[in-house]
Amino acid sequence: MNEKIHHGRNIKRFREMMGIKQESLAFELGPDWSQKKVSLLEQKEEVEEELLRQVAEILKVPAEAIKSFNEEAVFNVISNTYNNESKDNSTLIASSVNYQPNFNPLDKLLEQVEENKKLYERLLESEKEKVELLKRLLENKLST
């Protein structure tokens, strides 16, 4: 199972993981680059060593990571780890997969609604005090 690694697809994966847009990568690669050219690069099965090194530097990953990243291998590792752990420690896996909070989310929501009400009431009271103060100031100003 010696499948060829697709450099362009790996560049795209790392770029997306880093949250970098094609336009930004093109800008970093220099004036000869455009979003379209980066798109074409990401379709290439094999990328020249120097360009691969330059892209890796921009993405802040080792060039070797782009050359050797194999999604299937990653899934195999995750699958094997999950399966091994579930045999050895099934309650831990079950609890992490089937998370049950120890509080009622609706109760938390209602607490927040009550807190917002209290804040609104305090704000309203403060505004009423301001209006009263302004009325008194205006009355004093008119009476003098």
Asked whether residue 98 is assigned to any structural domain, the reply reads: no
If asked whether residues 61 and 115 sit together in one domain, one would say: no
- Is residue 117 in a domain? yes
Q: Is residue 67 part of a domain?
A: yes
Does residue 93 lie within any of the structural domains?
no
Tell me if 97 is assigned to some domain.
no
Our count of domains for the chain comes to: 2
Measure the CA–CA gap between 7 and 65, rounded to whole angstroms: 10
pLDDT digits (tens, 9 = 90+) for 13-40: 889 988 899 999 999 999 999 999 999 9
What is the domain extent for residue 12?
A: 7-71
Burial of 44 (0-12, 13-18, 19+ CB in 10 A): middle
Please give the pLDDT value at position 100.
57
Res 143 pLDDT > 70:
yes
In tens, the pLDDT along 38-73 reads 999 999 999 999 999 999 999 988 888 888 877 666
In which residue are the tokens 């993405």 written?
Answer: 59
* Domain containing residue 63: CATH number: 1.10.260.40
pLDDT tops 90 at residue 129:
yes
Q: How far apart are CA 75 and CA 61, in angstroms?
A: 20
pTM score, two decimals?
Answer: 0.50
Determine, yes or no, domain membership for 141.
yes
Which pLDDT belongs to residue 75? 54
Which of residues 71, 91, 125 is at a domain's end? 71
Residue 32 lies in a domain: yes
Domain contains 85? no
